[in-house]
Structure 1
Amino acid sequence: MPTTLPESLLAVLRCPATGSPLRQDGDELVAVEDETTRYPIEHGVPKLLPADSAV
């Protein structure tokens, strides 16, 4: 079951790559301007790092 993020949080989050707002799609956040840009939500925490970053 996906974690639903509060609307107040979604209102302030932005895509770090494009700067566009994000919307939730299941267990992912999707950039509104480019739906191919997606970020996972793991244990209720959005991971807003590019897929190729090593952390």
Structure 2
Amino acid sequence: MIGWAITFLIIALIAAVLGFGGIAGTAVGIAKIIFFVAIVLFVISLIFGRRRAL
């Protein structure tokens, strides 16, 4: 998932350089959402992983 977030961030940077502001803003928004979802899933997997070990 982090790979997808980085991909959308790169798309946003390229679009911003070429002057496509709307596409760049949308790509940054998608990258932020994917990044935060990945962080939440990582924390959940840490919590449930520790419960099974105990």
Give yes or no for TM over 0.5: no
Larger gyration radius, structure 1 or structure 2:
2
Higher relative contact order (CA 8 A, sep 6+): 2
| TM-score of Structure 1 vs Structure 2, range by shorter chain | under 0.3
**TM-score normalised by length of structure 2:** 0.19
Higher helix share: 2
